[in-house]
Structure 1
């Protein structure tokens, strides 16, 4: 299980400081790849419903984090509703990087520079563990959905929809 170690990302440090068990899963990231979540699922041999991507959205002018399965898409209306808002749209990638301290494709819901409201798709607790970005491309962290919610102060809601739906 994870320990604070040299080369640890802020996500790993946050989990270690919180006393939360996790497993680091790494793979060689292809610099030409732009489907970061799909690449993680493929390279780690995991079902894309169990690997989650971290997305930043603007909900009524306030940034929020959405954690949804790689196999699906974020339902912006559902995210807004889950946070008591009216409208949501995807955050500008440059703003997402600045607020989290991570680069796109490596944004973790954990250890962000600015703590943001976090909503995790309701499908996550259906797995013994899930994978989320560990804070850089080619690095995922495996942990329980409940531990992710505890570490981020997040809540669960139905915020994902089918990829083509």
Structure 2
């Protein structure tokens, strides 16, 4: 499925994540949409706005595992299992990171956090069930902008591991 609004990274390389992907030679498609700050679930709202399957429209969640930062990328229509998150990163406990801390750590605003081009690289896991898909959509680093990428390129670009993260 290809949304009507699509550009290439060469047209819009405006976020740290897009610049990092371009530096790595990874081509992505860009999909702008009207961001709704009042949406209950930003990822689901993005999927709906672009006519995408929410199972392959991924959200980026910042967590802390045994007090250390990590990044999880999962389908927008699902929830994290903190027990599985802790196990995926070799820890004993996991919790969601406070929004202000996530913004400071990543350099992005909540609603626009991307796993790509974060200010400080942290261990990252992508939900294993989406890793066989031909393409997934992930925040490009700005509210109202998703990028389309192959899961293989997403994993490689942030040195992520596939993991079972879902509740």
Q: Same fold (TM over 0.5)?
A: yes
What is the SS of the residue equivalent to 2:124?
strand
1:64-75 alignment to 2 at 5 Å? 64-75=70-81
Q: Cα distance, 1:4 vs. partner?
A: 7.0
User: Which residue of 88, 91, 102 maps to 1:85?
Assistant: 91
1:76-115 alignment to 2 at 5 Å? 76-115=82-121
Instruction: Indicate if the aligned counterparts of 1:4 and 1:16 stay in contact, CA closer than 8 A.
Output: no
What is the SS of the residue equivalent to 1:21?
coil
* Gap regions ≥5 residues in structure 1: none
1:145 aligns with 2:124: no
Count of matched residue pairs: 160
Aligned match of 1:156: 162
Instruction: Indicate if the aligned counterparts of 1:4 and 1:13 stay in contact, CA closer than 8 A.
Output: no
Q: Aligned partners of 1:61, 1:100: CA distance in 2, in Å? A: 16
Encode CA deviations 1:1-55: one digit per residue, 9 max, x unaligned. 32275x6111110100000010001111123224210111000100110000000
Q: Aligned partners of 1:11, 1:34: CA distance in 2, in Å? A: 25
Q: Aligned partners of 1:126, 1:73: CA distance in 2, in Å? A: 20
Q: Aligned partners of 1:113, 1:35: CA distance in 2, in Å? A: 25
Q: Which runs of 4+ in 1 moved over 6 A?
A: none
Instruction: Indicate if the aligned counterparts of 2:114 and 2:138 stay in contact, CA closer than 8 A.
Output: yes
Encode CA deviations 1:69-95: one digit per residue, 9 max, x unaligned. 001001111011011100000001100
Task: Please report the TM-score for the alignment, with normalisation by the length of structure 1.
Answer: 0.93
Instruction: Indicate if the aligned counterparts of 1:58 and 1:90 stay in contact, CA closer than 8 A.
Output: yes
